[in-house]
Structure 1
Amino acid sequence: MILQPVAIDLSEGSPYSVYFPNLPGCNAIGNSVEEALENAKEAATDHIEILINDREDIPSSVNITELMLLHEYKKCVWALVEIFP
């Protein structure tokens, strides 16, 4: 199990966007926050499986506190999601 921080953009309303700052290019959307998080878990699992199959390193996780201070995520709320690659 890998625990990944996600930024959830609630500013625009539905559809909601979820971003994985530690997995560049890995994002998801959903018509509800719950759906967006479920889609995000699936996207991250697929993303990590591709990295593993390609024998690439899985990016190390940056501390969520540090991520929360980044300007591009100032309108986001944060969560930690469990990924099971």
Structure 2
Amino acid sequence: MPLLSHAWGVEVPDIPGCYFVGDDLDDATAMAREAIEGHFEILAEDGAPIPSAQKVTLHATNPKYAGCMWAVVDIDVTKYPGKAQKLNITLPGYLLNRINEYVLHHPEEKSRSGFLASAALKVLQQDR
């Protein structure tokens, strides 16, 4: 096996402790997704919050990252909701009927709870 002349060291600034090495840029990018998703799975299992991504321009002004290359990896954080918790809520009948009808015609939502969680996440992501 030939020795590598170099490797790509990668750090995910938004996730403390998320470091890895790739053989080339493509390998490093693929490994970034795996490393981030692995960290998110652990955080979700521990009930810890998933960190919000900061803008690259913010990180690029940090002298620690001077001369670095940047890549953005899009991760669907809705896959890491943590443990489910039961909630008792009260909604107007008309609204509940509309939710039920929507879920009936949109199987991707799977349930009222899934619909309400999706709707809440959309609103919360807009509020960033």
TM-score under structure 2 length normalisation: 0.53
Map of 2:51 onto structure 1: 59
Structure 1 residue 27 and structure 2 residue 9: aligned?
no
5 Å-filtered alignment, 1:29-48, equals 29-48=21-40
Shift of 1:83: 2.4
Map of 1:3 onto structure 2: none
Answer 1 or 2: higher relative contact order, Cα 8 Å, separation at least 6: 1
Residue in structure 1 matching 2:67, options 75, 79, 83:
75
2:36 corresponds to which letter in structure 1? A
Moved over 4 A (4+): none
The structure richer in strand per residue is: 1
Unmatched runs of 5 consecutive residues or more in structure 1: 1-12
The structure richer in helix per residue is: 2
Shift of 1:73: 0.5
1:68 corresponds to which letter in structure 2? A
Q: Is the CA contact 1:30–1:39 (under 8 Å) kept in the aligned structure 2?
A: yes
Partner SS, residue 71 of structure 2: strand
Unmatched runs of 5 consecutive residues or more in structure 2: 80-128
Q: CA RMSD in A?
A: 1.4
TM-score under structure 1 length normalisation: 0.77
Shift of 1:64: 1.2
Shift of 1:67: 0.5
1:59 corresponds to which letter in structure 2? P
Sequence identity (%): 34
Q: How many pairs are equivalent?
A: 73
1:35 corresponds to which letter in structure 2? D
